[in-house]
Chain A
Amino acid sequence: MESISNEFPISLRSWPTSGHDPSALPTLIQRINFERGGFLNITEESLRQEIAEEEANGMDNDESSSSDEEEEPDKLKELMMAREELLREIEQAHQSALYALDFISLLLTKDVAVDISPLLTDLVGPKTLGADKVAASKLTEAQKLDDKQIAKGWKAQSLNKAIDSIQASAERLEKEIEHETKYWEQVLAVSDNGWAVCRLPNEKHILGVRYGFSEASSAFKTRSLAVLQRNPDGGISLDQGMSETAPKTLRARIQVNGKDTGITPVPNPAPKDAPIETLIHQARNTIFAEELWQELNREARSFAPVQDNDDCLVCPLTANKTMILELVTLGEPQPPTSSADNDIAEAIYLALHLLLSYSHRGNYRRRTQARKPISPSSMVEPAQTVTLVRGILTRLTYQESIKQLYSLLDPLCLVLNKASIPASYTRVPTTSTPPSHLSNAEKTIMTLMERLEARFALSITSSTTLNIQLRTFLSPLCSAFFVSLPNPTDPVVVTAPPFNEGYSSFEALRDYVLQATACALAASLTPSLVQLPPPPPVNDGEDKMALDSANNNEKETESQKVKEDKKWIQTGQFTLLSNVENQKQLSISVHAERSRDPKVRKPGVSLQLVWDGPRSQIPEDDDEAAGKGRSSSLSLGGEGLVRMGDSEAGKRMMEKSGKRGEKAYVWVAWENEKQNAWGEDEGEVVNSFEDVVKDVEKSS
């Protein structure tokens, strides 16, 4: 190595490969062609001028950059350097003082015993240095006085400087104290208002506020901390760091046939200089909305009714109403809408927020319960699903099912009442209670969303009562109807037994109930097919339905003799009866109807008696086709079908049936129809079921 001179250039770089050499001729030609469009316009003078200009610009840039650096000095670095310099100076002064002390001590050892440092003792030994005055001082008294004056002046000047410096520091400290006081007052105000103020986990000297939710999913929990930054004037500002996003909120819209009919309002964002409390609230609302949005999207992936469509979620609510959910930035302009369904939009918006809070409560309860022992199965945490839109749709399905039940039972009882059959229905209160350890808020949500159940008791005749139970399930989302016959001697047990597994659709239930009604009416005209056992004892604990059935049994026993006098017997079909005396056949049927008015498609029920011939439907006439519907119809003494009705139009109409020898009597009732919807001048009083049957029995 010594043989190599210092000027010898040594490079540790690898030898450049020809393929990547920027100065290679092909590369240069290509570059010149690309940058300058060929060699045509390039001259040596122009290149020199360009280089000179670039150098000049480069110097300017350097100057400007250096001036920028000067403008923004690194205070911390400066402070550290000053501190190091100060320490160095102090150390140097300390060393100098020690040397001086050692020197004087060594000098004094000649005359008096003075302790000197052991190092000096070892090095030179005591009494090895002496001093004598060799000449008198040349300083005159005047010079001494002058020196004293100069010293005084320096001292005074230094003192003045020190005072100025201390005053400046005091003023600065005073301002700093004011700012600190202001800052801490605001921090305390934040804390007093219930926000959790804590130190940042990684930077313990910085205060933060936890504005998020402790039970949120982990991604949002970690984002829920913001720095309470102190401004230069002592004010406080919220710094959310990397997680800071534009404030957002969830917007719910309702659309009918593609047109917006309801929307939730989107507030304007708070200005940056707004009170800290407002900013924290806004940050909290934003993180909640973002979590809600994430959970809604997660739910949409596994819940078919919700569709993800261009940054919004679309879900049908009813046949013609659609819900649209989207995450929007605060202050975003609202699309023009009518306000007809604003209430629905707002209710959905609130319900979704409540359901996410409900899910947070559930997380808290699970987290704070003692866990099961550590085992292989407990090491895998099951993923928690949040019920949001599913909860709303479950409730809507339940309400729709209840509505459907009323739309069946109302007109059914009404039409039977019109035929003087004392049918009625009651809604039996359900007794399921949510778990007692839940809070009232959780109980309320659970009651609205889970274990949805309704029970109805439909009494058709004295011996027939149907218990209808509706259950709506959260997952899978559906309604099921279960029918039971509390009276074991009920003739319907034989003629139309209910399906034990329940009915999964309302249409199936409706068909069964109508068929069971027809069977029950037919059974009331024929001798009983079921032998009556002794009435069962009624316990106190049995429910109202059982009591009703027991009462029905008693009534049935009383009317047994009357029944046995009937002249009708059942044929192969339970709703088709045959008269033992005149051989006439009587068919009883109950049908679901729907009014023809296209604006209001009211559901209804018709009860039909058809005799003397094969069963047939009542032929529809032009008025029905025109949508007026029919309220009730009657046939008297074989004159043909006489129709009385059109309760909606309030006028009566009479006409005759087409087929000869085929007679029918029809009662019709619509949902929400009053008991006697027609006026006194609107027609004849409708005959009762019993009267019509007697007429049929008497007619030859």
Chain B
Amino acid sequence: MHELFLTTQISNDDLQRALRILQGYCGMSPVHILRRHLKWEGPRTRTPKGIDPAFIQKQHRDKVPQWKALSEQLGRQSYVLTLIYDVDRGQFGQTSTQSEETNGASQISGCDQIPGILRWSDLPDPAGNRPVNSRLIVNIENEMGLCTVLKSMNHRFSNEIIQECNRFVHGNVIFEINRYLQLPENDTPSSIRTELPPYESLVPFDGDNKWILTASVLVLDGNNPEQMQKGIDELAAVMLDFEGCFNLEKRDRHIFDTRIKF
């Protein structure tokens, strides 16, 4: 699956105005989303192994092609993978009463017990004449036990970040106004938190507290020029509509690099 996208920045002062504009453009109220992003680094080796074929065969038949595609990519190069879990505001600042959650196994099982999304994205394609960024992605959704799976694939948990997102949909184009929030320092930074700190203690990742507006379109088959052109046309139309309002543009592809370098 290919993702075509354009991005721009929005200052925090302009956020409400941007939300109102997109609300009118898309004819919908924004969908507010809070998500935990757990970053997992692949093994630092030049000959990484893909995913165990036996494990892939055990998966639901609809998801086998996605797991195979991911295994193929991870067999060539190590990447940073992201596990995404939906959270709500009420989960922040709640203290857990279970004493056993201090050990590592239960920390992982905490996230394993809820469905999450495994997301892999490649380095975007070289720009060429395309007016948009495009990259290969794999999204395996609604999956349980992903932390254990990544552990078994020799991936190492590196850090965690909170995504605050306002999402709009206009035809095939998805608009997301995102900002990323860092969690305060933890005693054991290499372990997954069992409880989230108070929301007020989160610090914007961007020093100026800017938001990132992304307009994206998903295309099932990136090798099909007709599908790709349709996606590009829709994004180009959006870019034209917002000319003078949002400076949606193609960025340097290396900003979005997720490969492990050593």
0/1 interface trace, chain B 156-200, chain A, CB 8 Å (1 if under): 000000000001110110100000000000000000000000000
Known A-B contacts A368-B31, A370-B174; A375 and B220 likewise in contact (beta carbons under 8 Å): yes
Asked if A368 and B219 sit within 8 Å, CB to CB, the answer is no
A374 touches B28 (CB 8 A): no
Is B126 part of the contact surface with A, judged by Cβ < 8 Å? Answer: no
Roughly how many angstroms separate A379 CA and B221 CA in the complex, as a whole number? 13
Say yes or no for B124: interface residue by CB 8 A criterion.
no
Residues of chain B at interface, number, CB under 8 A: 19
CB atoms of A371 and B169 under 8 A apart: yes
Within 8 A of B (CB), among A351-367: 364, 367
What residue in chain B is nearest A196 (Cβ atoms)? B24
Q: Which of B28, B218, B220 contacts A368 (CB 8 A)?
A: B28
CA distance A379 to B227 in the complex (A): 9
In the bound complex, CA of A373 to CA of B1 (Å): 8
**Which residue in A364, A378, A379 is a CB contact (below 8 Å) of B28?**
A364
The answer to whether B27 touches A214, judged by C-beta atoms less than 8 angstroms apart, is: yes
**A70 → chain B closest CB, angstroms:** 46
CA distance A378 to B226 in the complex (A): 13
**Chain A-chain B contacts (Cβ-Cβ < 8 Å), number:** 39
**Most chain B C-beta atoms within 10 Å of own C-beta, residue among A364, A368, A369:** A368
Q: How large is the interface on A (under 10, 10 to 19, 20 to 34, 35 or more residues)?
A: 10 to 19
Q: How far is the CB of A65 from chain B (nearest CB, A)?
A: 48
Question: Nearest A residue to B231 by beta-carbon distance?
Answer: A374
Contact with A along B208-220 (1 / 0, CB 8 A): 0000000001111
Chain A binding surface, main DSSP class: loop
Known contacts A374-B217, A375-B221: A368-B169 contact under CB 8 Å: yes
- B20: Cβ under 8 A from any A Cβ: no
A639-660 CB mask vs B (1 if < 8 Å, else 0) is 0000000000000000000000
Determine which of B31, B169, B218, B230 lies in contact with A379 in the assembled complex, contact meaning CB atoms within 8 Å.
Answer: B230
Cβ 8 A contact of B220, one of A214, A367, A369, A374: A374
CA distance A214 to B217 in the complex (A): 23
B28 touches A373 (CB 8 A): no
B28's nearest neighbour on chain A, judged by CB, is: A368
Q: Closest Cβ of chain B: how far from A41's Cβ, in Å?
A: 73
Contacts of B31 in A (CB 8 A): 368
A153–chain B nearest beta-carbon distance, Å: 57
Nearest B-chain residue to A377, judged by Cβ: B220
State whether A373 touches B169 (Cβ < 8 A): no
Q: Are B227 and A374 in contact (CB under 8 A)?
A: yes
User: Judging by beta carbons under 8 Å apart, are B174 and A374 in contact?
Assistant: no
Contacts of B217 in A (CB 8 A): 374
Complex contacts, B227 vs chain A, CB 8 Å:
374-376
Q: How far is the CB of B25 from chain A (nearest CB, A)?
A: 12
State in angstroms the CA–CA spacing of A627 and B219 once bound together: 74
What residues on A are CB-neighbors of B219 within 8 Å?
373-375
Do A373 and B230 contact each other (CB < 8 Å), given the known contacts A214-B27, A364-B28, A368-B31?
Answer: no
For the complex formed, measure the closest distance between the CB of A372 and the CB atoms of chain B, giving whole angstroms. Answer: 8
Q: Which of chain B's residues has its CB closest to A376's CB?
A: B227
Query: Which partner residue on chain B sits nearest A364 by CB separation?
Result: B28
In the complex, which residue of chain B has the Cβ closest to the Cβ of A365? Answer: B28
- The chain A residue with its CB closest to the CB of B26 is A368
CB distance from B215 to the nearest CB of A (A): 13
* Residues 220-240 of B at the A interface (beta carbon under 8 Å): 220-221, 227, 230-231
Residues of chain A within 8 A of B221, CB atoms compared = 375
Q: In the complex the two chains form, is B1's CB within 8 Å of A370's CB?
A: no
Which residues of A from 183 to 226 have beta carbons under 8 Å from B? 214
Distance in angstroms from A363 CB to nearest chain B CB is 11
Nearest CB in chain A: distance from B82 CB, A: 18
Distance between B214 CB and nearest chain A CB, rounded to angstroms:
13
CB neighbours (8 Å) of A367 from chain B are 27-28, 169
CB distance from B240 to the nearest CB of A (A): 15
Of all chain B residues, the one with the shortest Cβ separation from A369 is B169
CA distance A374 to B218 in the complex (A): 6
**21 residue pairs bridging A and B, Cβ less than 8 Å apart:** A367-B27, A367-B28, A368-B28, A369-B169, A370-B167, A370-B174, A371-B171, A371-B172, A372-B220, A373-B1, A373-B218, A373-B219, A373-B220, A374-B217, A374-B218, A374-B219, A374-B230, A374-B231, A375-B219, A375-B221, A375-B227
Known: A371-B172, A378-B172. 6 other contacts (CB 8 A): A367-B169, A368-B168, A372-B218, A374-B172, A374-B218, A378-B220
A residues contacting B by CB (< 8 A) are 214, 364, 367-376, 378-379
